[in-house]
Chains A and B, each alone.
Chain A
């Protein structure tokens, strides 16, 4: 039915288009709670930009107009760990920085994910050295690794899409009942 305004503006219309609409409410989507929650989550993954080196420049490029990470719902870079969902570790993690990275990760609210962006964050990269942590997966559970030195913004966007696919598959209701840290991290030999 086409909406036509024929009455004067100061009188209320007798019938409106804003009431019950059988075209909308008559069609019901049946889904699982898991799938619905995951759909909400995966399309607004707010990043925690853990920029530590030159990869952070590419991360900024991914957030800027040419590459536009907001197409995938992740444009809200949160500099507070309390408000972010996915930590993007972009750069060289030195041992001096490692426990700060771990602490910020622990301050993030569940559910949370980690993208290791670039060679340094993934493996230590070219820094086989006394001062560099040889891969951030020694202290954090990494979901997606991005190759490159530094990776192009497209590679980061690809990682984000892969992470979205992973989020869509997760058993979120079961995860809500588990402990805050995965068991594999509980066995680390240093204290925090």
Chain B
């Protein structure tokens, strides 16, 4: 039974032109895929040949100000061999689209909908790419780094409206080493404190 490190070396040899050598950090093995349009092939190989039959998580990261901007991360696990493997790929903002892996793991369906809802990255071939947390018609992607925490006003008649939340007194960061909760987390923090 190969370990995650051995399998990721095999993955790199099999897809040598766009899968990186594995990086191990504190027992976690990661590989990066340089061509996001081939991610579904890599994932299918990992499931079929590597036995990674369980998609633990699928998330997106916004590297705002860098190009490519989006990073999509696939956390894999094999119930047969109990090994973890992380696959990640980067997508530029101009493309903002990569193939779905919902045909590989059915669990990817809702995860990809969440990434689409929060970041606006589309998954080509997804069977039902709708918003999952916000409502249809909401015009923004709220987990993007350039989206303000307090939100933006919007209105979908008869469905939902939003208003900007007051962030006066923020940012609400808890400083370490302060004795009591009232001074640690005040309702309003004036700027000169």
When C-beta atoms are compared, the residue in chain B nearest to A100 turns out to be B160
Give every chain A residue within 8 A of B147 (Cβ-Cβ).
130
Quick check: which of B27-35, B37-45, B51-59, B162-170 contacts chain A, the rest being far away?
B162-170
Shortest CB-to-CB span from B171 to chain A, Å, is 10
Q: A98 touching B160 by the CB < 8 A rule? A: yes
CB <8 Å contact, A128 and B161: no
A134-167: which have CB < 8 Å to B? 134, 138
Residues of B within 8 A of A128 (CB): 149-150, 165-167, 170, 172
User: Contact mask A75-109 → B, CB, 8 Å, 1/0?
Assistant: 00000000000000000000110110000000000
Q: A96-B135, A190-B155 in contact; A132/B161 too (CB < 8 A)?
A: no
Residue in A closest to B155 when the chains form the complex, CB atoms: A190
What is the CA–CA distance of A138 and B161 in the complex, to the nearest angstrom?
A: 12
B78 at the interface (CB under 8 A from A): no
- Contact of A129 (CB < 8 Å), options: B134, B157, B165: B165
CB-based contact A129/B160 at 8 Å: no
Interface assignment of B152: CB less than 8 Å from any CB of chain A: yes
Number of A-B contacts (CB under 8 A): 49
Q: Who on chain B is nearest to A130 by CB?
A: B151
Interface size bracket, B side? 20 to 34
Q: How far is the CB of B83 from chain A (nearest CB, A)?
A: 37
Q: A128-B165, A129-B165, A130-B165 are in contact. Are A99 and B151 (CB under 8 A)?
A: no
Cα–Cα, bound, A132→B150 (Å): 9
Interface flag for A124 (CB, 8 Å): yes
Do B134 and A98 touch (CB < 8 A)?
A: no
Give, as a whole number of angstroms, the nearest-CB distance from A97 to chain B. 9
Q: State the CA gap A132–B149 with chains docked (Å).
A: 11
Report if A16 contacts B (CB, 8 A). Answer: no
Q: Is A131 an interface residue (CB 8 A)?
A: yes
Residues of A near B172 (CB, < 8 A) are 128
**27 pairs across A/B with beta carbons < 8 Å?**
A95-B161, A95-B162, A96-B134, A96-B160, A98-B160, A99-B158, A99-B159, A99-B160, A128-B150, A128-B165, A128-B172, A129-B151, A130-B147, A130-B148, A130-B149, A130-B151, A130-B152, A130-B165, A131-B142, A131-B151, A131-B162, A132-B165, A134-B165, A190-B155, A190-B161, A191-B158, A192-B158
Q: Identify the A interface with B (CB < 8 A).
A: 95-96, 98-99, 124, 128-132, 134, 138, 190-192
